Chain A
Amino acid sequence: MADKISGARMVIEALKKEGVEVIFGYPGGAVLDIYDELYKTPEIKHILVRHEQGAAHAADGYARSTGKVGVALVTSGPGATNTVTGIATAYMDSVPLVVLTGQVPTRLIGNDAFQEVDITGITRSITKHNFLVKRIEDLPRIFKAAFYIARTGRPGPVLIDIPKDIQQAKGVFEYPEKIELRSYNPVYEPHIKQIEKTYLLLEKAERPILMVGGGAISSEASKEVKALAEKLNLPVVMTLMGLGAFPGDHEQSLGMLGMHGTYYANMAVANCDLLIAVGARFDDRVTGRVDAFAPMAKIVHIDIDPSSIQKNVKVDVPIVADCKRALIRLLEIVQAAGRPKKFWKERFKDWWEQINIWRRRYPLSYRHDENYIKPQFVIEKLYELTKGEAIIATEVGQNQMWTAQFYKFKRPRSLITSGGLGTMGFGFPAAIGAQVGNPDKLVIDIAGDGSIQMNIQEMATAVEQNLPIKIIILNNGYLGMVRQWQELFYGKRYSFVKFPLIPDFVKLAEAYGATGMRITHPKEVEPALKKVLKSKKLFILDIHIAPEEGVFPMVPAGKATTEMLLV
């Protein structure tokens, strides 16, 4: 008979079995036993954060940038509740996480014990699934199931709550090789009839659009997206989460659609007669007023989550499948039908002519200014200097939208941004996770002066781990996006969006042992960026930008996407 080991040891062994190389965590009373085992396990790298929210976001950034499951470990009570925003962020963007929380001993559960919180209850609606381990013999199976659920189907966060007495109990560790859950069987293979229907619609279409969302990235379907677009000469629009799934510098890319999408992307979608959506969920920021969204189009919707289909828009051809496999099947049919590339080129020539008219009429643009640094100019320069190859994390708000508009992401998993939940304070800890997962790549956090203060404590984490992240603060002294809405829709009543006090970010950087620099004039932008990019240390570049610059185009909330406010 196999030797008995403790529950805490089982946790470590399970993590090893799942191939976990790094976890992000913060110790506390209810996870002392697991930390004691971690102490003896140098093969699992532990990144000590400064706040549990940072741990969840860092695990998230790690997962988004590598495609692996991100793991966070925190204690019970406040440790657990501090991860809630991070879990919800990952849930909204379908990011595979496993969050381990300590819990008070089982005999105390429900007693309002010290640092007790019903974290499985709290996170029920923001996890794909969660577990409370009540018996030591369940622990291996629960871990196997948790990782399996997190990474398969539509990925998402899974939480495992482990009471202290379970960590201390002894049991035999037999880790299941395979797991089957009778109540959970994601469908990967598309219904071939639906794919055939899609092809027939393509044959009939005159004005098709390929709309690519985050699902294309999580199913690793970029190659197929590109192959399909190029073969059929399809214009490609991307959602915020889809940026990078198709090269932003490709001539068939119309960039992002939706509230702050390009004029031509929104016009193309509004006028198309066939919309093929790949791994997108028709969020309200994408559709605007739903009845005016692609009103003439037949809609094909490929998604692994059946509940995403027909949720927000009426779909003509629903395809429940893994995006990659669905596109492979579609490409096979395209191949078998045998129409040459020339045919499709000719076929959509008029459509492309129209699109190019829109492109010329309102390209993405902004007014240059001699005295003020324009944030768009900063992102453009950054794009030039990094050739679109950096991993860019963003915070949320104007900084995020300018990045989405002006940085032409070339590769999947290179934009790390909180799309669904819109979590301020996400970018920097997520950048930490991304840099840990990609030690040789350039990782940049584009921040606002508001967002960066929400998880600034992680400076210590990044410096002590020698992570050479570049933080670029687009500092306008405002909560810029809220200010923009107040300007446009609330009679310029700037209610509590100007910070009376903003810290000296240069000194702050220095206080943490990082490098800081401030610029205020357009001429300084390029040299400063060059200096930052060369640096091997954590760097804060505090850029004072034009304070009341807005993000345009903009579709006001609830309006049709053709009703854009332009520059």
Chain B
Amino acid sequence: MTGKKHTLSVLVENTPGALARIAGLFSGRGFNIDSLCVAETLDPTLSHLTLVTHGDEQIIEQIIKQLRRLIDVYKVVDITEEGNYVEREMALIKVKAEKEYREEIFRICEIFRCKIVDVSPRSYVIEVTGDEDKLQAVIELLKPIGIKEIVRTGTIAMKREKKST
């Protein structure tokens, strides 16, 4: 991976094809998408998209300009560039839960404030929320125990309000 990671917050018209246009723009121009998260906003005519990408300054500038050029794109903010933001991702991790490891799993869950959301005789499903580093840490700790499956949401992000007025 070359270049800095950037998290972009994109508001687009909630129309069919808008997402395809954005995905097509990235593949067609050789830009990278590391993760993409889309959902409706309070205004049902707009969708919000959190897009994580990477590249040098010039590429990120092109990505933002090309996104803005799409007729359906209402607003693009480079959250990374503006600084001071909250970033979260959620993962569901299905981990082997043989008797001898259950204590260890509980301990890890407690330290990282994860939830166990499904239990079967042989495995647990753990829900973990946090930034990328935290998810990575949990995954690394669970790996030796035996991860059967992971599903991640991709990053969502939001700018923080100014603390002083």
Residues on B with C-beta less than 8 A from A120 are 17
Give the number of residues in A that approach B within 8 Å (Cβ atoms): 19
- A305-B69 contact, Cβ under 8 Å, with A124-B20, A124-B21, A183-B13: yes
Residues on B with C-beta less than 8 A from A184 are 71
Most buried by A among B21, B68, B71: B71
Residues on A with C-beta less than 8 A from B71 are 128-129, 149, 181, 183-184
Residues on A with C-beta less than 8 A from B65 are 306-307, 309
- Nearest-Cβ distance from residue B15 to partner chain A, whole angstroms: 9
Complex CA gap A124/B25 in Å reads 9
B78 close to A (CB within 8 Å): no
Contact between chains at A306 and B24 (CB < 8 Å): no
What 0/1 pattern do residues 123 to 160 of A give for CB contact below 8 A with B?
01100111010000000000000000100000000000
Contact between chains at A125 and B20 (CB < 8 Å): no
- Nearest-Cβ distance from residue A222 to partner chain B, whole angstroms: 26
Contact between chains at B17 and A311 (CB < 8 Å): no
Instruction: Find residues 108-137 in chain B having any chain A CB closer than 8 Å to their own CB.
Output: none
B73 close to A (CB within 8 Å): yes
B74 close to A (CB within 8 Å): yes
Residues on B with C-beta less than 8 A from A41 are none
A121 close to B (CB within 8 Å): yes
Residues on B with C-beta less than 8 A from A125 are 24-25, 28
Contact between chains at A183 and B74 (CB < 8 Å): yes
Residues on A with C-beta less than 8 A from B74 are 182-183
Residues on B with C-beta less than 8 A from A121 are 20
Contact between chains at B69 and A307 (CB < 8 Å): yes
- Nearest-Cβ distance from residue B72 to partner chain A, whole angstroms: 6
Most buried by B among A130, A307, A309, A311: A307
Residues on B with C-beta less than 8 A from A182 are 74
Complex CA gap A306/B70 in Å reads 12
Residues on A with C-beta less than 8 A from B21 are 124
Q: Is the interface of B mostly helix, strand, loop or mixed?
A: helix
What 0/1 pattern do residues 13 to 33 of B give for CB contact below 8 A with A?
100110011001100100000
Residues on B with C-beta less than 8 A from A130 are 17
Contact between chains at B24 and A311 (CB < 8 Å): no
B104 close to A (CB within 8 Å): no
A335 close to B (CB within 8 Å): no
Complex CA gap A128/B70 in Å reads 8
- Nearest-Cβ distance from residue A119 to partner chain B, whole angstroms: 12
B61 close to A (CB within 8 Å): yes
- Nearest-Cβ distance from residue B75 to partner chain A, whole angstroms: 8
Most buried by B among A121, A124, A305: A124
Question: Of B24, B58, B69, which is within 8 A of A310 by CB?
Answer: B58
Complex CA gap A250/B13 in Å reads 49
Contact between chains at B69 and A183 (CB < 8 Å): no
- Nearest-Cβ distance from residue A23 to partner chain B, whole angstroms: 23
B84 close to A (CB within 8 Å): no
Complex CA gap A309/B74 in Å reads 20
- Nearest-Cβ distance from residue A561 to partner chain B, whole angstroms: 22
Instruction: Find residues 52-80 in chain B having any chain A CB closer than 8 Å to their own CB.
Output: 58, 61-62, 65-66, 68-69, 71-74
Complex CA gap A305/B17 in Å reads 22
Contact between chains at A306 and B17 (CB < 8 Å): no
Residues on A with C-beta less than 8 A from B13 are 183
- Nearest-Cβ distance from residue A141 to partner chain B, whole angstroms: 13
Contact between chains at B73 and A183 (CB < 8 Å): yes
- Nearest-Cβ distance from residue A34 to partner chain B, whole angstroms: 23
Complex CA gap A50/B103 in Å reads 77
Question: Of A129, A132, A183, A307, which is within 8 A of B66 by CB?
Answer: A307
Complex CA gap A155/B73 in Å reads 18
Residues on B with C-beta less than 8 A from A183 are 12-13, 71-74
Question: Of B16, B20, B68, B73, which is within 8 A of A306 by CB?
Answer: B68
Residues on B with C-beta less than 8 A from A309 are 65
- Nearest-Cβ distance from residue B33 to partner chain A, whole angstroms: 16
Residues on A with C-beta less than 8 A from B73 are 183
* Nearest opposing residue in chain A for B45, CB measure: A182
Residues on B with C-beta less than 8 A from A306 are 65, 68-69
Complex CA gap A184/B72 in Å reads 8
What 0/1 pattern do residues 527 to 560 of A give for CB contact below 8 A with B?
0000000000000000000000000000000000
Residues on A with C-beta less than 8 A from B24 are 124-125
What 0/1 pattern do residues 82 to 111 of B give for CB contact below 8 A with A?
000000000000000000000000000000
Complex CA gap A183/B16 in Å reads 15
* Nearest opposing residue in chain B for A120, CB measure: B17
Instruction: Find residues 309-355 in chain A having any chain B CB closer than 8 Å to their own CB.
Output: 309-311
Complex CA gap A310/B12 in Å reads 24
- Nearest-Cβ distance from residue B24 to partner chain A, whole angstroms: 5
* Nearest opposing residue in chain B for A309, CB measure: B65
Complex CA gap A149/B72 in Å reads 12
Complex CA gap A142/B71 in Å reads 13
What 0/1 pattern do residues 156 to 193 of A give for CB contact below 8 A with B?
00000000000000000000000001111000000000
20 A-B residue contacts at CB 8 Å? A124-B17, A124-B20, A124-B24, A125-B24, A128-B71, A129-B72, A130-B17, A132-B16, A132-B17, A181-B71, A183-B12, A183-B73, A183-B74, A184-B71, A306-B68, A307-B62, A307-B66, A307-B69, A309-B65, A310-B58
Interface of A with B (CB < 8 Å)?
A: 120-121, 124-125, 128-130, 132, 149, 181-184, 305-307, 309-311
Q: Which 10 A-B pairs rank lowest in CB-CB distance, beginning with the nearest?
A: A307-B65, A129-B71, A183-B74, A125-B28, A184-B71, A306-B65, A307-B69, A307-B66, A124-B24, A125-B24
